């Protein structure tokens, strides 16, 4: 916990409540970040009234409060520092205070003057992403959220509540995210889809919004991102027709290569059925260097791309290990995913 933590009254209270006692006794109380965030009025979020939250109750809260304050700066460098600070708390497993930042990250992303909108959106989504595991991941783990279970922060706080609070915060602002699906900037449309599927609900409206945007979308890379988002959504919500629908996308030679490739990746993640020869043929036709370059900015690929330009290859390494083996000597921990 770091030197001097014994003298920190906030951490002392966390230890008493979550380590020396049953943490579930704190459910719904002042140390339950889910309850704290749910009680924040929409008017406070819209007014960027971050001081309406009790940052001082949670470890790393005051520092995160300062990072959130930077999100309203007119200086792009300050905004970047603010988002980077929240990302840093996530990297250090402080999900609770990162969750408290989510409503403000979303409003920063909705501001067209903000140069770091996509970064803010993806950081909000990352609050509920499962930690990256040693490579390779598999068909059953890629494009899936996991049950956070009993996850603790370094302070001893019940981090699972932070993850749940973040998902609920995203759900509370589902309308804001849905509006961003139609943003003029293609990258924002993709980031909005990536963030929207991390919300706890409303499931039916989210699925309908993603399908509606996919029908209206004419950018093939954005369409590929929307398709991956729908597959990720289907990984959590029963959707018996999704596997057949996705197969039709990668089977259709009229679809752009990026869309067919995303559909092939998605199909592999939705089922453990044997890989058909037709899918391998679609991959051979579509997984070109040009398509990989076009798809490299998609958040799902960048999240596992620790080397800078290998996201698609890493996807295939996990999904088709016998066809695309990991090169000997490749270091899966060589670099962190880029959020830029």
**Within-domain flag for 143:** no
In a domain, 2, yes or no: no
Same domain for 300 and 228, yes or no, is yes
Which residue range is the domain that position 162 belongs to?
9-137+149-172
Residue 188 shares a structural domain with residue 293: yes
Count up the domains in the chain and report the number.
2
Burial (0-12, 13-18, 19+ Cβ within 10 Å), 290 = exposed
Q: What is the DSSP string of 237-267?
A: S--TTHHHHHHHHHH-TTS-HHHHHHHHHHH
What's the pLDDT score for residue 84? 97
Domain for residue 144, yes or no?
Answer: no
Q: Are residues 256 and 123 in the same domain?
A: no
156 and 199 share a domain? no
Q: Do residue 331 and residue 229 come from a single domain?
A: yes
In a domain, 308, yes or no: yes
Confidence at residue 315, expressed as pLDDT on a 0 to 100 scale:
72
Query: What does the pLDDT read at residue 311?
Result: 66
Q: Are residues 15 and 129 in the same domain?
A: yes
- Residue 196: name the closest of 109, 101, 80 by CA: 109
Pick out the chain residues at pLDDT < 50.
1-3, 322-340
pTM, 2 dp: 0.88
Q: Are residues 49 and 185 in the same domain?
A: no
**pLDDT attached to residue 6:** 65
Q: Do 210 and 129 share a structural domain? A: no
Rounded to 10 degrees, the C-alpha dihedral 165/339/211/38 comes to 10
Same domain flag for 252 and 290: yes
Instruction: Say how far apart CA 126 and CA 13 lie, in whole Å.
Output: 27
Q: Is residue 1 part of a domain?
A: no
3-state SS assignment for residue 158: strand
Question: What pLDDT shows up at residue 31?
Answer: 97
Degrees to nearest 5, angle at CA 46 with 173 and 39: 65
Residue with tokens 């409206």: 205
Same domain, 80 and 221: no
Q: What is the pLDDT of residue 335?
A: 36
Question: Is residue 322 assigned to a domain?
Answer: yes
Residues 165 and 187 in one domain: no
* Residues 40, 109 within the same domain: yes
| pLDDT for the residue 337 | 34
Whether residue 142 lies inside any domain: the answer is: no
């Amino acid at each position: 916990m770091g030197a001097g933590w014994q003298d920190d009254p906030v951490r002392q209270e966390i230890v008493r409540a979550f380590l020396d006692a049953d943490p579930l006794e704190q459910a719904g109380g002042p140390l339950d970040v889910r309850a704290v965030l749910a009680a924040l009025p929409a008017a406070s979020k819209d007014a960027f009234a971050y001081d309406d939250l009790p940052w001082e109750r949670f470890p790393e809260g005051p520092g995160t409060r300062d990072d959130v304050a930077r999100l309203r700066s007119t200086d792009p460098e300050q905004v970047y520092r603010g988002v980077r600070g929240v990302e840093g708390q996530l990297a250090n497993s402080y999900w609770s205070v990162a969750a408290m930042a989510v409503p403000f990250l979303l409003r920063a992303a909705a501001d067209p003057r903000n140069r770091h909108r996509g970064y803010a959106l993806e950081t909000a989504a990352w609050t509920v992403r499962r930690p990256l595991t040693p490579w390779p991941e598999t068909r059953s783990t890629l494009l899936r959220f996991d049950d956070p279970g009993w996850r603790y922060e370094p302070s001893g706080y019940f981090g699972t509540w932070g993850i749940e609070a973040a998902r609920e915060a995203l759900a509370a602002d589902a309308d804001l995210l849905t509006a961003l699906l139609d943003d003029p900037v293609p990258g924002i449309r993709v980031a909005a889809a990536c963030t929207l599927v991390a919300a706890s609900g409303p499931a039916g409206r989210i699925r309908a919004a993603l399908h509606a945007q996919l029908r209206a979308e004419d950018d093939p890379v954005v369409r590929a991102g929307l398709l991956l988002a729908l597959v990720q959504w289907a990984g959590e919500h029963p959707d018996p027709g999704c596997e057949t629908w996705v197969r039709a996308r990668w089977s259709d030679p009229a679809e752009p290569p990026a869309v067919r490739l995303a559909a092939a990746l998605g199909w592999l993640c939705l089922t453990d059925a044997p890989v058909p020869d037709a899918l391998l043929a679609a991959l051979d036709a579509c997984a070109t260097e040009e398509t990989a370059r076009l798809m490299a900015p998609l958040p799902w690929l960048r999240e596992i791309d620790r080397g800078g330009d290998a996201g698609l290859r890493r996807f295939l390494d996990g999904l088709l290990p016998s066809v695309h083996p990991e090169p000997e000597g490749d270091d899966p921990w060589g670099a962190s995913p880029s959020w830029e």
